[in-house]
Amino acid sequence: QKEVEQNSGPLSVPEGAIASLNCTYSDRVSQSFFWYRQYSGKSPELIMSIYSNGDKEDGRFTAQLNKASQYVSLLIRDSQPSDSATYLCAFKAAGNKLTFGGGTRVLVKP
């Protein structure tokens, strides 16, 4: 079993709709979770970090964490074509190392 599981997609979303991305992880010890966005040919950029169970909102993005279910999700409201990218879920393991999922490709269609 992979440490971080994500649906590879592509997730096709009409412009203005909500994109919902899911991620499950196997490390029960981890306390820090992250969502990164990566455009093709570019390096990842941090969208959101979340440490506590529940929701965390930042602009059009909402991260949800459920440690009991080992599940973290990302909602993108009012999706824009510029949101088309690969979204990487990650958790921080021992030694400050980040373990990444395979990423979900999102396509927002005008």
Partner 1 sequence: GAVVSQHPSRVICKSGTSVKIECRSLDFQATTMFWYRQFPKQSLMLMATSNEGSKATYEQGVEKDKFLINHASLTLSTLTVTSAHPEDSSFYICSFIAAHTDTQYFGPGTRLTVL
Question: Binding residues for partner 1, per CB under 8 A?
Answer: 32, 34, 41-46, 49, 88, 92, 95-103
- In this complex, which beta carbon is closest to partner 1, that of residue 17 or of residue 67? 67
Looking at residue 53, its amino acid is N
Place of tokens 């999700």: 73
Q: Tokens 């490709």, residue?
A: 105
* Coil/strand/helix, residue 107: strand
Number of H helices, E strands in the chain: 0, 11
Considering the complex, what minimum distance in angstroms separates the CB of residue 110 from partner 1? 24
Residue 71 or 100 with smaller CB distance to partner 1? 100
Residue number, 17 or 99, with CB nearest to partner 1:
99
